[in-house]
């Protein structure tokens, strides 16, 4: 069949957000919408020609159709080899790993991460560069400009690829290699963790419940936890990936995975309770009677990372996104290693990882990972916790209690205001931005504002600058209020308000998060004025 160059007209809304282009399914189903964006990638990244490209997705509705299109266009644009996950399935960290294992020139990942799926749900695509990391902002900016001017796209017409049959197929001059989605990822995890010790822990009666949320990590969790580590089959729930994620919201937090919190509080709770999200890059960790916040999880893993086989060489550095609580900063100081504060978006960690200055990093949006890949990795975090529990002989609750006694406790919460009118969201941000200069030195109760600014970041590796990365009101080491617009939604605008309080006194380490943060929340109401300026009565989601 021939390679055709077909005429098209540009769309003006193909600007990538924090992690790719995300829209409603119906938007991607518009004539030539996906083709335009894909051709923009092939035009901007001309070096892909003659190279290897990884393709996969999280299995949500429209995943297969999009992958068929991507393969046909890869063949139409001179890609020498396409490696695609069987059934079109690849978790985000597994895809990043495949890029690295096969020295591929990049990868196309079809996912909207933790966003809902189905015909009326969300869809997305992101391009990962050689090395496995997300496309940097300079590249996504070029893609956007090209997408607004595009007039044609190239495609191999009549492409017929069997995504369910492993092995090689030929499409013109392009080799299509359909691979087991889990194999390479499972080998990577086995190289990092002490599988024998974890197997022994299960044999001694250790128990885990892992919720795959009918999303991509089901096959990965079954292969590793059940088949390789010997956990009972019942340890992995909602393991079958479904196009609509079973009608649920594949976001592992205390709202959409409330049943796991309830399980943690039950009389017969397992030792470890965990979940991952739509594309497998986020994680949720709970122990008996206890939720471990993402910032605490990052800090606690940092404190114990040297106990894991793949990290015996020690920590080269730690990093967190700016809105993430500062718990890991305290651990970094104790361990005498560098600690970096970056903008939100995993791409900002990648330069540090590639430069060898970083071993462990994380974000408050339930993302944690290490130098083993260039994406956050939900199942990696679960296995890391399993290995720590199995090695120390401590429960999750004991690990947390000992950590807080030594390093203090950062109480933390995020308030999401979803689907706001864009004008209202901008009014909130602009109003606070204008007020910031006058806030320094002002006292509210027991807290005095020491810093009030808009976060910017200069990459210590390449010197690139990112501005406008969130507004900060800082009360020394004691507390922070952060405000930023999210880049992961598909409708309207989302404001995220972050509240943080740090305590070290023994009698202040067992408060509820709500009680601990009540004074900071009251200050935020006065200074940020979200409800007043938007007409909302409160946040859409609290995590």
Distance, CA of 453 to CA of 472 (rounded, Å): 5
Active-site residue, selected from the candidate residues 40, 91, 96, 113: 113
What's the confidence (pLDDT) of residue 52?
A: 98
Residue 489, pLDDT above cutoff 60: no
Cα torsion at 265, 397, 346, 59 (round to 10°)? -40
What fold is seen in the domain 185-407? Alpha-D-Glucose-1,6-Bisphosphate; Chain A, domain 3 (3.40.120)
Query: Phi/psi at 316 (nearest 5 deg)?
Result: -90, -25
Distance, CA of 300 to CA of 400 (rounded, Å): 7
Q: Which residues contact 292 (CB under 8 A, 6 or more apart)?
A: 285, 286, 300, 396, 400
Helix (H) or strand (E) holding 438: none
At the top level of CATH, the class of 3-181 is alpha beta
Question: What letter does residue 251 receive in the DSSP assignment?
Answer: -
Residue 426, pLDDT above cutoff 90: yes
List, in sequence order, every residue forming a beta bridge with 170; answer none if it has no partner: 175
| CA diameter of the chain | 74
What's the confidence (pLDDT) of residue 490?
A: 60
HSE-up (13 A, CA, CB side) for residue 417: 27
Q: Residue 321 catalytic?
A: no
pLDDT in tens, 88-119: 999 999 999 999 999 999 999 999 998 999 99
Question: Which has the closest alpha carbon to 67: 48, 91, 84, 46?
Answer: 84
pLDDT in tens, 130-148: 999 999 888 999 999 999 9
Q: What is the mean pLDDT of the chain?
A: 96
- Mean pLDDT over 217-240 rounds to 98
What's the confidence (pLDDT) of residue 487?
A: 62
What's the confidence (pLDDT) of residue 137?
A: 86
* Domain covering 409-542 assigned CATH 3.30.70.940 in the classification: no
- Mean pLDDT over 247-260 rounds to 92
What's the confidence (pLDDT) of residue 1?
A: 59
| 207 to 102, 198, 244: CA distances (angstroms) | 35, 11, 29
List, in sequence order, every residue forming a beta bridge with 496; answer none if it has no partner: 416, 484
Q: Which residues contact 65 (CB under 8 A, 6 or more apart)?
A: none
What's the confidence (pLDDT) of residue 339?
A: 98
Write down the domain spans for the chain. Answer: 3-181, 185-407, 409-542
Kindly tell me the burial class for residue 8, based on how many C-beta atoms sit within 10 Å of its own C-beta (0-12, 13-18, 19 or more). middle
């Amino acid at each position: 069949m021939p390679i055709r160059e077909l005429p098209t007209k540009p769309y003006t809304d193909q600007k990538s957000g924090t992690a790719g282009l995300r829209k409603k399914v119906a938007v991607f189903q518009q004539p030539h919408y996906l083709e335009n964006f894909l051709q923009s990638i092939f035009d901007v990244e001309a070096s892909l020609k003659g190279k290897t490209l990884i393709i996969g997705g999280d299995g949500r509705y429209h995943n297969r159709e999009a992958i068929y299109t991507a393969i046909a266009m890869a063949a139409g644009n001179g890609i020498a080899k396409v490696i695609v996950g069987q059934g079109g399935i690849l978790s985000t960290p597994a895809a990043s790993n495949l890029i690295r294992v096969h020295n591929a020139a990049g990868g196309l990942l079809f996912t909207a991460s933790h966003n809902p799926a189905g015909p009326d749900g969300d869809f997305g695509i992101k391009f990962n560069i050689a090395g496995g990391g997300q496309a940097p902002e300079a590249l996504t900016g070029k893609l956007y400009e090209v997408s607004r001017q595009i007039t044609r796209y190239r495609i191999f017409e009549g492409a017929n690829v069997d995504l369910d049959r492993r092995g090689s197929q030929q499409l013109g001059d392009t080799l299509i290699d359909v691979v087991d989605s889990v194999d390479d990822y499972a080998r990577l995890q086995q190289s990092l963790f002490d599988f024998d010790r974890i197997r022994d822990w299960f044999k001694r009666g250790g128990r885990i419940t892992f919720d795959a949320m009918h999303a991509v990590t089901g096959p990965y969790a079954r292969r590793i936890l059940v088949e390789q580590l010997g956990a009972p089959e019942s340890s992995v729930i909602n393991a079958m990936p479904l196009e609509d994620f079973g009608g649920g919201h594949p976001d592992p937090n205390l709202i959409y995975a409330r049943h796991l919190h309830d399980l943690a509080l039950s009389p017969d709770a397992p030792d470890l309770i965990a979940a991952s999200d739509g594309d497998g890059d986020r994680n949720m960790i709970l122990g008996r009677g206890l939720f471990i916040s993402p910032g605490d999880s990052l800090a606690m893993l940092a404190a114990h990372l040297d106990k894991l086989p793949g990290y015996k060489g020690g920590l080269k550095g730690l990093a967190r996104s700016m809105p993430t609580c500062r718990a890991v900063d305290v651990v970094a100081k104790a361990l005498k290693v560098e600690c970096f504060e970056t903008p939100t978006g995993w791409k900002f960690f990648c330069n540090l990882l590639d430069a060898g200055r970083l071993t462990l990093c994380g974000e408050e949006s339930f993302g944690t990972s290490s130098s083993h890949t260039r994406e956050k990795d939900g199942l990696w975090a679960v296995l890391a916790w399993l290995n720590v529990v199995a090695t120390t002989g401590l429960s999750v609750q004991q690990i947390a209690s000992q950590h807080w006694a030594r390093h203090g406790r950062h109480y933390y919460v995020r308030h999401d205001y979803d689907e706001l009118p864009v004008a209202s969201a901008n009014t909130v941000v602009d109003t606070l931005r204008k007020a910031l200069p006058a806030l320094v030195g002002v006292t509210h109760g027991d807290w005095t504002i020491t810093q009030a600014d808009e976060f910017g970041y200069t990459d210590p590796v390449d010197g690139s600058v990112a501005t406008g990365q969130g507004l900060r009101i800082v009360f020394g080491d004691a507390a922070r209020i952060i405000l930023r617009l999210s880049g992961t939604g598909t409708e309207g605008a989302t404001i995220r308000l972050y509240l943080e309080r740090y305590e070290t006194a023994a009698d202040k380490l067992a408060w509820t998060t709500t009680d601990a943060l009540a004074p900071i929340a009251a200050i935020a109401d006065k200074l940020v004025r979200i409800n007043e300026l938007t007409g909302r009565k409160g946040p859409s989601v609290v995590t």
